[in-house]
């Protein structure tokens, strides 16, 4: 970056100076002031600009820092000029008396009256954190009268989160639910529109996870047979919790939250073998009145892991327990797997010769479940049985009239899957286990 202060002083009104190394940053001169401007091309090719500050009160270094922040905002999909204009509209609302039903009060009512009551503890806590963070980041929005939120306001709030579209979509859904709750409770007039259900509908789509600073796009990863073989042979390098959970994903095709919520009372030996019954409230189908408990036959390594952990279960009652923090949760396992990936910051900061880098990269725990389901199909397991195994509810009329549980078929298919997985690991040379 190069800036000639002497040349800047000599500029005349209507003239401007571009700043080398800062594309779009310029110093524009009017009759009474010299203003730092960020000029850029918006969607549709239209040129727009945002005023940053006055020179010399704002130095070129400070202007460059503000210019970079605006560029980052634009790279995330937002329009800096539109966002600045919308924020100025929000600032027109004065600080309101406590009796005014503000956005903040509406959100608090939704949290206390709905989220805490109807959602599981972890889900309610995550939703509350997301909403509270938004109100802290945008105090003008938080203090607006809820009835005064316009379509433009809703768009501006979501546009500011567009760089993380998945989180923005969740936020949009939560705010839509909050407005519905306030309307149903009569805290908002029935004529007040719920713009959150309309604005940016279908436009907030994930760009995929970030790897090396680049979005990878939406991916549905299924590990190939050779990759499964390599991963299973590398398991001794994982700690015991990670090793057991990885195998439970593959041998049962269950969800992580179901596996890690396992307790002794969920396990029983029946005439045809061992069964793990996941209570309906721990499954994804808990929100459906037609949902039922998920029955999972335990065979092969899954049975070995469960019986070993039953013998060692502590006072907490969790089969998968971390001595440091209590129950081992899905986010703990997801973080653990990410930190073993070759692109994770933790791996880059470690010595490469320690060997603690996954030999199979670019997968998440849920991809193990998808891999197990795909292997079931490759082994000839019929769709209705495989869907029953992974806990998906039957569609439409089938779910109403077909009450058959497929217990025998589940056991047969998972036994075949267990044998297939065992054959894959036997065909792979062992990795040296970590000391």
Name 67's bridge partners: none
* pLDDT value for 232: 95
Backbone angles phi and psi of 60, in degrees to 5: -65, -30
| Position 432 confidence tier, pLDDT thresholds 50, 70, 90 | very low
Res. 82: pLDDT tops 80: no
* pLDDT value for 428: 47
Rounding to the nearest 10 degrees, give the CA dihedral for residues 32, 36, 42, 48: 0
* pLDDT value for 346: 74
Average pLDDT, the chain: 85
How would you classify residue 390: left for phi > 0, otherwise alpha for psi between -120 and 50, otherwise beta? alpha
Would you report the helix, strand and coil content of the chain in percent, each value rounded to 5? 50, 10, 35
| Position 435 confidence tier, pLDDT thresholds 50, 70, 90 | very low
Res. 93: pLDDT tops 80: no
* pLDDT value for 350: 59
* pLDDT value for 429: 47
The more confident residue out of 431 and 14 is 14
Rounded to whole angstroms, the Cα distance separating 25 from 117 reads: 51
CA nearest to 376, candidates 406, 419, 408, 405: 419
Query: Tokens 């999972």 — which residue?
Result: 296
CA nearest to 168, candidates 199, 123, 214: 199
Res. 354: pLDDT tops 90: no
Tens-place pLDDT, residues 51-72: 988 988 888 888 888 888 888 7
Tens-place pLDDT, residues 355-409: 588 999 999 999 999 999 999 999 999 999 999 999 988 765 444 445 578 899 9
Helix 240-252 with 365-378: angle, nearest 10 deg: 30
Cβ atoms 49, 38 nearer than 8 A = yes
When pLDDT is averaged across residues 32-43 and rounded to a whole number, the result is 86
Name 294's bridge partners: 278
The whole-angstrom distance between residue 154's C-alpha and the CA centroid of its chain comes to: 21
Res. 241: pLDDT tops 70: yes
* pLDDT value for 211: 52
- Cis-peptide, bond into residue 360, ω within 30° of zero: no
Tens-place pLDDT, residues 267-300: 999 999 999 999 998 888 877 777 889 999 999 9
Res. 166: pLDDT tops 60: yes
* pLDDT value for 282: 87
Tens-place pLDDT, residues 184-224: 999 999 889 999 998 877 655 555 555 555 545 556 789 99
DSSP 376-390: HHHTT--HHHHHHHH
Tens-place pLDDT, residues 96-113: 445 689 999 999 999 999
Would the pTM of this model clear 0.85, i.e. be above it? no
Res. 433: pLDDT tops 50: no
How would you classify residue 288: left for phi > 0, otherwise alpha for psi between -120 and 50, otherwise beta? beta
Name 41's bridge partners: 47
Across 56-65, 115-124, 215-224, 305-314, the highest mean pLDDT is recorded for 305-314
């Amino acid at each position: 970056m190069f800036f000639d202060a002497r040349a800047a002083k000599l500029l005349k009104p209507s003239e401007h100076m571009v700043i080398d190394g800062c594309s779009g940053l310029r110093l524009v001169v009017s009759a009474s002031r010299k203003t730092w401007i960020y000029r850029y091309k918006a969607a549709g090719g239209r040129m727009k600009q945002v005023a940053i500050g006055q020179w010399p009160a704002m130095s070129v270094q400070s202007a460059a820092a503000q210019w970079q922040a605006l560029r980052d905002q634009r790279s995330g999909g937002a329009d800096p000029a539109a966002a600045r204009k919308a924020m100025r509209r929000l600032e027109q609302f004065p600080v309101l008396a406590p009796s005014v039903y503000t956005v903040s009060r509406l959100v608090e009512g939704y949290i206390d009256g709905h989220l805490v009551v109807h959602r599981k503890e972890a889900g309610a806590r995550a939703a509350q954190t997301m909403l509270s963070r938004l109100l802290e980041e945008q105090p003008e929005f938080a203090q607006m009268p809820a009835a005064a939120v316009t379509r433009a306001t809703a768009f501006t709030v979501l546009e500011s989160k567009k760089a993380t579209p998945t989180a923005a979509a969740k936020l949009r859904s939560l705010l839509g639910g909050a407005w519905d709750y306030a309307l149903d409770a009569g805290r908002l007039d029935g004529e007040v529109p719920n713009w959150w259900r309309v604005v940016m509908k279908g436009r907030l789509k994930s760009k995929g996870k970030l790897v090396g600073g680049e979005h990878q796009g939406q991916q549905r990863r299924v590990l190939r047979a050779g990759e499964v073989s390599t991963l299973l042979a590398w398991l001794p390098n994982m700690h015991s919790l990670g090793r057991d959970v990885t195998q439970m994903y593959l041998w049962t095709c269950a969800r992580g939250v179901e596996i890690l919520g396992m307790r002794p009372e969920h396990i029983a030996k029946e005439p045809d073998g061992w069964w793990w019954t996941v209570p309906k409230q721990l499954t994804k189908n808990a929100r459906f009145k037609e949902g039922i408990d998920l029955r999972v036959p335990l065979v092969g390594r899954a049975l070995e892991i469960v019986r070993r952990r039953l013998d060692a279960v502590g006072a907490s009652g969790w089969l998968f327990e971390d001595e440091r923090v209590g129950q081992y949760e899905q986010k703990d396992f997801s973080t653990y797997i990410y930190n073993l990936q070759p692109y994770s910051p933790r791996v880059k900061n470690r010595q490469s010769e320690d060997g603690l880098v996954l030999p199979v990269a670019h997968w998440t725990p849920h991809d193990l479940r998808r891999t197990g389901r795909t292997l079931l199909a490759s082994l000839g397991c019929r769709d209705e049985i495989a869907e029953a195994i992974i806990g998906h509810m039957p569609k439409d009329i089938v779910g109403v009239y077909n009450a058959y549980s497929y217990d025998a078929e589940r056991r047969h298919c998972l036994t075949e899957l267990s044998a297939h997985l065992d054959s894959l690991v036997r065909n792979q040379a062992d990795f040296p286990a970590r000391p």
